[in-house]
Chain A
Amino acid sequence: MSEFLSNFQRLNPKNAFLRFKEMPKKEKIRSVREFLIDNLLYILLIAAIIGIQIYDPRFLSVSSIINIISLSAANLPIALGIAGCIILTGTDLSAGRIVGVTACVAASLLQASGYANKMFPSLPTLPIFAVFLIVIAIGALVGFINGFCTAKFKLHPFIVTLATQLITYGALLIYLMQGTNNGQSISGLDSKYTDFITGSLFKIGGTSVPNYVLYAIIITAVMYFIWNKTSFGKNMFAIGSNAEAANVSGVSVTKTIIGVFVLAGIMYGLTGFIEAARIGSNSASTGLNYELDAIAACVIGGVSFVGGIGKIRGVIMGVVLLRIIFVGLTFLGIDSNMQYVIKGIIILAACAIDMRKYLVKK
């Protein structure tokens, strides 16, 4: 949608229309076709929303819309983190597993004191903020390893994060065997913690908006600031656009790359912290494949693998669009196996349309 809007802004409708009128007929047909293909995704989406709404009017009810917004909010931080890696022409496959680890750590340290299956029975009730910091630190640490190996050893982030994904998962499985847990999923969370995350912010028409929507908004605002208003953010875009240019201009490429991955790790930590309370029962499969949805959201939102291109509003739109699609498919009663197929097709189409913009026609 962001692309759609910016296309319009760039064209300045009045001028564009005048120019369009002057075009020869062949050109007219061509420019209409180009416009349709460039915005195919959004056109299909609008058509789909209308279709689903006709099929099942509950789709656009208040509770359904709040559901879409909440689920989007929960997935936003991880997508914002990965977007930075993609802007550097990289990627991050370890994101989902970092979410898993941080979620399980947060859950294990914040179980209700009287809970029968407490993982660490002798553990006193920790302050939420302390656990928050621990979780952030874990995310940052894995992010640092990712960034360090990428920047110092000149490895492709695909390889680095493939490795750290395995390491993180292994560490998570080991962690789940600690205390009295023996690999079980972790539930029975302290109500102060769950209230902090999932408590009601306010209610619209009887449906409450959870607190974490507010947190996602704050996180997004901070990320917007970092991307657009700080030298770190500008360096990130410059490196993604041309790392050599950044280097000869005196930018510390190594530091910036590490910084981007650490920031991404922190975002995964935040996601984990929210996710643990949101799900309530956390196991080794928490966070599984989250990175794939996040990458898909980024790509749909116009964060390009070409590097150096991406906007916060694009990431938001990508996350929301993907969520609308998932919810829509469920409303249509399409079975979950088929949903994977459709998801895959959407990602392919989105990437192909995105690439069109960077191809030079010969």
Chain B
Amino acid sequence: MKEKYLLELNNISKSFPSVKALDGVTLKVRGGTVHALMGENGAGKSTLMKCLFGIYNADGGEFFLDGKQISFKSPKEALEGGVAMVHQELNQALKRSVNDNIWLGRYPTALGFITLEGKMKRETKKIFEKLRLDIDPSTIMSEMSVSARQMVEIAKAVSYDARVIVLDEPTSSLNDKEVERLFEIINQLKAEGRAIIYISHKMEEIMKISDDITVMRDGRLIATERAENMTLDGIIKLMVGRELKERFPQKTNKVGEVALKVEGLSGRHSLLSKVSFNLRKGEILGIAGLDGSGRTELLETIFGLRVRSEGRILLHGKELKIKSARDAKKNGFALLTEERRATGIFGILNITENTVISGLSRYRTAGIFLNDKKMKRDTDRYIKSLRIKTPSQKAKIRTLSGGNQQKVILGRWLLTEPEVLLLDEPTRGIDVGAKYEIYQLIISLAEQGKCVIMVSSEMPELLGVCDRIAVMSGGRLAGELEATDADQEKIMTLATKYV
């Protein structure tokens, strides 16, 4: 018997100037189910959804909703046509109230232009009550936590009364309780016969919530299966396109004697409070903790980007005066920032320029001129040694994949010959395959005797790569664990110590 689908995407193609992002992708979603869309970054999941939602115009293919052909030219048409979406990047007007955000684009009006504040507030309250959210509709968005904003975004999508709801990484900032709440909401929506398209990188969530799973790779459809017929390993295999024998490389670094001492570090404007730890030569120290536990603040305070109110930093027994990133660099520190796109790459500059930017002083001739040849030679060296995949040095860095961008930034810092590498979420938004290479690089840097501090939200990664794991909680150091006897449970216990 032929299956009945609520939403059908047939043979969708979409090209961008340099890449073919979607190549004849077909997606069929049953009503009353959760359909997970899986794939590595750049596989085309979000692009496919943006084509459906009218943000992009597909080059080819057809969309059907309830058997009727649809083709949305703008998000406005999509919303009116019964498709709502929670976007991966939180798209909100942060300076406006929750109320204004919920009703943005569809303010209830009298005479077509006078907004009805009272009605908006009442309706918002109703929506929040139904979803059991405790949020005051008149709060300004920027004054709320990221997770509360995400819940508002979800509530907004739900409130459109749409037949199809796309959730693109809806849980990236939610805690377990909130995820639980979201799943309740999703089950409610399922029961009402709506279809949910669910995009997430969190495998456990996918296995728990989805009815059907579609895997995409390189802009193509790889497989669509019932969730009960799939296993975690099987999905990863389909996503990566080859068997990943081991998720982490062999640890070959040898730990030496203590090189870096951090004593009682506190932040002036951050929650960081009296953090002390030692770091040995050739050691990889993992920093675990929940979002907002002060992990990034710790790295940025060490690196001089944040003002410290007290505390000392000693390298080889000598106290360092670090008041700015420049001081930190001079003293042999390097920082790979958390937000690669915002604070890592110079998007429109090429590979060479991105590589040498932190080490320009080495290329000066006659005091003011820069030696182009030498810059090219060094860049070439790092392209080779870090195995950066790029058509040429002249390519703009934003055209590279996330993993290759990260390698370029790593190369940038290696050029300054640092002793201590501070890595903030070094594999965030990087494909499974490329992650392995980054792990390899980190371990080989430690092997060369560098000290590495690595912040990560992915516990398996910390357990697999680090020698020791320090756990932050509420701005304090909750405890340290040797990687050999640490496990996720122990880390979580410490992470919630001062919450």
Q: Which of A229, A244, A245, A251 contacts B115 (CB 8 A)?
A: A229
B91 at the interface (CB under 8 A from A): yes
Contact with B along A102-127 (1 / 0, CB 8 A): 00000000000000000000000000
Nearest CB to that of B77 among chain A residues? A250
Cα distance A100–B181 in the bound complex, in angstroms: 60
Cα distance A253–B156 in the bound complex, in angstroms: 19
Q: Assuming the A-B contacts A230-B114, A231-B113, A234-B100, are A246 and B93 also in contact, with contact meaning beta carbons closer than 8 angstroms in the complex?
A: yes
Output the least CB separation between B37 and chain A (Å). Answer: 18
A309 at the interface (CB under 8 A from B): yes
Nearest CB to that of B78 among chain A residues? A250
Cα distance A308–B80 in the bound complex, in angstroms: 26
B85 at the interface (CB under 8 A from A): yes
- What B residues does A240 contact at CB under 8 A? 95
Please determine whether B107 and A237 come into contact, CB atoms closer than 8 angstroms: no
Please determine whether B105 and A249 come into contact, CB atoms closer than 8 angstroms: yes
Q: Assuming the A-B contacts A248-B75, A250-B75, are A238 and B104 also in contact, with contact meaning beta carbons closer than 8 angstroms in the complex?
A: yes
Output the least CB separation between A133 and chain B (Å). Answer: 22
- What A residues does B95 contact at CB under 8 A? 237, 240-241, 307-309
Which residues of A from 232 to 259 have beta carbons under 8 Å from B?
A: 232, 234-235, 237-238, 240-242, 244-252
Cα distance A309–B95 in the bound complex, in angstroms: 7
B106 at the interface (CB under 8 A from A): yes
Binds A, one of B252-260, B300-308, B362-370, B371-379: B300-308
- The contact size tier of chain A is 20 to 34
A203 at the interface (CB under 8 A from B): no
Cα distance A129–B270 in the bound complex, in angstroms: 61
Nearest CB to that of B92 among chain A residues? A245
Cα distance A231–B269 in the bound complex, in angstroms: 38
Cα distance A242–B117 in the bound complex, in angstroms: 21
Please determine whether B93 and A241 come into contact, CB atoms closer than 8 angstroms: yes
Output the least CB separation between B277 and chain A (Å). Answer: 21
Output the least CB separation between B99 and chain A (Å). Answer: 10
Cα distance A238–B94 in the bound complex, in angstroms: 9
A14 at the interface (CB under 8 A from B): no
B334 at the interface (CB under 8 A from A): no
A21 at the interface (CB under 8 A from B): no
Please determine whether B115 and A234 come into contact, CB atoms closer than 8 angstroms: yes
- What A residues does B91 contact at CB under 8 A? 242, 244-245, 248-249
Which residues of B from 75 to 124 have beta carbons under 8 Å from A?
A: 75-76, 78-80, 85, 87, 89, 91-96, 100-101, 104-107, 109, 113-115, 117
- What A residues does B305 contact at CB under 8 A? 362
Cα distance A350–B240 in the bound complex, in angstroms: 55
Nearest CB to that of B267 among chain A residues? A362
Q: Which of A231, A247, A362 contacts B307 (CB 8 A)?
A: A362
Which residues of A from 21 to 36 have beta carbons under 8 Å from B?
A: none
**How many of B's residues come within 8 Å of A, CB to CB?**
36
B55 at the interface (CB under 8 A from A): yes
Which residues of B from 51 to 90 have beta carbons under 8 Å from A?
A: 53, 55, 74-76, 78-80, 85, 87, 89
Please determine whether A251 and B105 come into contact, CB atoms closer than 8 angstroms: yes
Please determine whether A246 and B105 come into contact, CB atoms closer than 8 angstroms: yes
Q: Which of B104, B114, B268, B270 contacts A246 (CB 8 A)?
A: B104
Q: Which of A232, A252, A362 contacts B270 (CB 8 A)?
A: A362
Output the least CB separation between B108 and chain A (Å). Answer: 9
Cα distance A212–B146 in the bound complex, in angstroms: 48
- What A residues does B270 contact at CB under 8 A? 362
- What A residues does B96 contact at CB under 8 A? 234, 237-238, 241, 308
Which residues of B from 142 to 194 have beta carbons under 8 Å from A?
A: 156
Please determine whether B104 and A249 come into contact, CB atoms closer than 8 angstroms: yes
Please determine whether B104 and A245 come into contact, CB atoms closer than 8 angstroms: yes
- What B residues does A237 contact at CB under 8 A? 93, 95-96, 100
Please determine whether B100 and A242 come into contact, CB atoms closer than 8 angstroms: no
Interface of chain B, helix or strand or loop or mixed? loop
- The CB with the most chain B CB atoms within 10 A, among A240, A248, A252, is that of A248
Output the least CB separation between B359 and chain A (Å). Answer: 25
Please determine whether A252 and B76 come into contact, CB atoms closer than 8 angstroms: yes
Please determine whether B104 and A251 come into contact, CB atoms closer than 8 angstroms: yes
Output the least CB separation between A24 and chain B (Å). Answer: 13
- What B residues does A234 contact at CB under 8 A? 96, 100, 104, 107, 115
Cα distance A62–B156 in the bound complex, in angstroms: 54
Q: Which of A232, A249, A309, A362 contacts B269 (CB 8 A)?
A: A362
Nearest CB to that of B112 among chain A residues? A231
Contact with A along B295-331 (1 / 0, CB 8 A): 0000010000111000000000000000000000000
Cα distance A23–B195 in the bound complex, in angstroms: 54
Contact with A along B269-291 (1 / 0, CB 8 A): 11000000000000000000000
- What B residues does A252 contact at CB under 8 A? 74, 76
- What A residues does B306 contact at CB under 8 A? 362
Output the least CB separation between A134 and chain B (Å). Answer: 26
Cα distance A246–B109 in the bound complex, in angstroms: 17
Cα distance A232–B104 in the bound complex, in angstroms: 11
- What B residues does A230 contact at CB under 8 A? 109, 113-115
Output the least CB separation between B1 and chain A (Å). Answer: 38
Nearest CB to that of B270 among chain A residues? A362
Q: Assuming the A-B contacts A241-B94, A308-B95, are A247 and B100 also in contact, with contact meaning beta carbons closer than 8 angstroms in the complex?
A: no
Output the least CB separation between B298 and chain A (Å). Answer: 13
Output the least CB separation between A309 and chain B (Å). Answer: 6
- What A residues does B94 contact at CB under 8 A? 241-242
Q: Assuming the A-B contacts A237-B93, A309-B95, A362-B305, are A251 and B76 also in contact, with contact meaning beta carbons closer than 8 angstroms in the complex?
A: yes
Cα distance A244–B94 in the bound complex, in angstroms: 12
- What B residues does A235 contact at CB under 8 A? 104-105
Q: Assuming the A-B contacts A248-B91, A250-B80, A362-B300, are A238 and B100 also in contact, with contact meaning beta carbons closer than 8 angstroms in the complex?
A: yes
Please determine whether B300 and A231 come into contact, CB atoms closer than 8 angstroms: no
Nearest CB to that of B306 among chain A residues? A362
Cα distance A235–B115 in the bound complex, in angstroms: 11
Output the least CB separation between A16 and chain B (Å). Answer: 18
Q: Which of A238, A244, A245, A250 contacts B74 (CB 8 A)?
A: A250
Output the least CB separation between A123 and chain B (Å). Answer: 38
Output the least CB separation between B135 and chain A (Å). Answer: 18
Output the least CB separation between A6 and chain B (Å). Answer: 13
Q: Which of A229, A242, A250 contacts B105 (CB 8 A)?
A: A250
Cα distance A72–B1 in the bound complex, in angstroms: 77
- A selection of 24 A-B contacts at a CB cut-off of 8 Å is A229-B115, A229-B117, A230-B113, A230-B114, A235-B104, A235-B105, A238-B96, A238-B101, A238-B104, A241-B94, A241-B96, A242-B93, A245-B91, A245-B92, A248-B55, A249-B75, A249-B91, A249-B105, A249-B156, A250-B76, A250-B79, A250-B80, A251-B105, A361-B269
5 smallest CB-CB distances across A and B, nearest first, come from A250-B105, A250-B76, A241-B93, A249-B105, A245-B91
Beyond the given pairs A230-B113, A234-B104, 11 more chain A to chain B contacts, judged by CB atoms under 8 angstroms and listed by A's residue number, are A234-B115, A237-B95, A238-B96, A241-B93, A242-B93, A245-B91, A248-B75, A250-B76, A250-B105, A308-B93, A309-B95
Binding site for B on A (CB under 8 A): 229-232, 234-235, 237-238, 240-242, 244-252, 307-309, 361-362
